[in-house]
Amino acid sequence: MGALGPNAATSTTDNTQQDLARRTGEIAVYWYCMLSIGWFYGMLLLSTTFTTAFGLKFGDVWVRWWSEQTVDLSIGSWVGVSVSLACVALVSHGAQLWVFLVWTVPKSSGELPELLLHAVMMAPYRIFVETDPGVTLNR
């Protein structure tokens, strides 16, 4: 069995499974962060993200349609729509960055530490006695 014995192998397997579960995250964490920025900023960030994705991905579809000539349009129309989609993607991406960096990050960075401090201060003492300090610190 080696110097570590059978319990060490089980413990390593349990730790590996916990690490894998921790890395993937849960939807509740993302929901918690979304609530910390508020519904207005959350929906604004989501809409700018979707608009950016539409401008980028539908541009690919449009070029494919152009190459297949599925619709009979002039060259100017094909180029005009392509340029318009690129402009939509560019402007919405700028808006997305602005909303994220100027509005949501400052709001979230003010809310989350306050909620964390409240949760820690209201936790029962037995949690701190029974839980390893490293685990508490890393969460």
Q: Is the pTM of this model over 0.85?
A: no
Domain range enclosing 129: 38-138
Number of H helices, E strands in the chain: 7, 0
Which tens digit of pLDDT belongs to each residue from 60-87? 998 888 888 877 888 898 899 999 999 9
14 with 71, same domain: the answer is no
| Number of structural domains in the chain | 2
Q: Identify which of 8, 10, 91, 26 has the alpha carbon closest to the alpha carbon of residue 56.
A: 91
30 with 43, same domain: the answer is no
- Greatest mean pLDDT range, 5-9, 60-64, 92-96, 119-123: 92-96
24 with 79, same domain: the answer is no
The residue with tokens 């319990």 is 7
55 with 1, same domain: the answer is no
4 with 62, same domain: the answer is no
87 with 112, same domain: the answer is yes
